[in-house]
Structure 1
């Protein structure tokens, strides 16, 4: 079975993330969305909430599993029999950061490959940080996040 891991903090999940998940689910037999527990980052949603939000918007994708993790991504991938880390890219700066991470992951476990997928141009400007900023100041986040999550995101503010 060809299994890929798509990691991130997903705080909150955006339409750009969902684009990568949907497209990745068509390429791999199984796609694990790995929600990172990052103790150094102050998140709007706790880990359980982020997992549930992602499950809500991916329930129609039968080969997608949503799990939380902490620790090294390559260890998580190995435990789940994945040889692929799927990363979405929006910009050149994303590539520079993700390329360094891919090299480090390759050093830690040369059996796991990182595959980069470009986010659809419609979502290339969308980030979780920008969504939170817009929502915090009462802006319209329609089109940036899945519609069924808008009220939950706004309620956080």
Structure 2
């Protein structure tokens, strides 16, 4: 069974995230969406709210599982039996950043393979941090967020 983890903060989930997950699920038997909990970083949404939001977005696909975790992502991969880690790439700078993380993860656990999925052009400018900034100033984020997630914002 091919199991993959798509880790991130998902604070909030965006249409770009959804696109990466939907394109990933055809490659694997099971995809975990892992909400990384960083105790030094205060999120806009609580971890519980992010879990609820992700479940609402992906509730119809039994191959997708939502789980929060803390600690090293490669250790979490091992705990759920994932041999693949999915990462979305929007820009060249994303690639450089993700490449460095993938190389470090490979040093920590060579059994975990990083899979990069390039964002569709229409989603390359969408990021959770930009969406959070728009939300802070009461802007309309509906074009960037899946409709199932809007109720949680």
Scaled by the length of structure 2, the TM-score of the pair is 0.96
- RMSD between aligned residues: 1.0
Indicate the SS of the match to 2:145. coil
Q: Establish whether residue 138 from structure 1 lines up as the match of residue 138 from structure 2.
A: yes
How far 1:144 sits from its partner (Å)? 0.2
How far 1:143 sits from its partner (Å)? 1.6
* 2-structure distance, mates of 1:8, 1:23: 16
Indicate the SS of the match to 1:142. coil
* 1-structure distance, mates of 2:66, 2:93: 27
* 1-structure distance, mates of 2:70, 2:84: 18
If asked which structure has higher relative contact order (CA below 8 Å, sep 6+), I would say: 2
Structure 1 gap segments, 5+ residues each: none
Query: Is the 8 Å Cα contact of residues 25 and 61 (structure 1) preserved in structure 2?
Result: no
Aligned length in residues: 153
Structure 2 gap segments, 5+ residues each: none
* 2-structure distance, mates of 1:137, 1:47: 22
Indicate the SS of the match to 1:27. coil
